[in-house]
Amino acid sequence: MSRASRLIKRLDKALNGYESFGDNPDSFVETVMSGLETELDAIRSKAKPGLWAEIYVERDRARIKQAVLNRVMRQGSD
């Protein structure tokens, strides 16, 4: 498993630990980041281009997921 995959897996696990993020999900970013220090240190120590490519793809996947869920929510409120 690559370092990026480990980071993503750990991030998903950390986020799954919450039932809700309330009205301000951005307020959870620092808390979640601090829980990922081991994985972040590993990435910083050996940042290869392929590693960053995996992270970019996961980021884009999250953007698409957010856009789809926003549309579903708008449809549900009609």
d(CA 2, CA 49): 12
14-71 pLDDT, tens per residue?
999 999 999 999 999 999 999 999 999 999 998 788 999 999 999 999 999 999 999 9
Looking at the structure of the chain, the number of domains it has is 1
What's residue 70's pLDDT?
95
For residue 78, pLDDT over 80 is answered with no
Confidence band, pLDDT 50/70/90 cuts, at residue 4? very high
- Give yes or no for a contact between 15 and 67, defined as CB atoms under 8 angstroms apart: no
Residue 48 has a pLDDT of 87
Cβ atoms of 28 and 10 within 8 Å: the answer is: no
Is pTM beyond 0.75 here? yes
CB atoms under 10 Å from CB of 55, counted, come to 17
Range of the domain at 18: 3-76
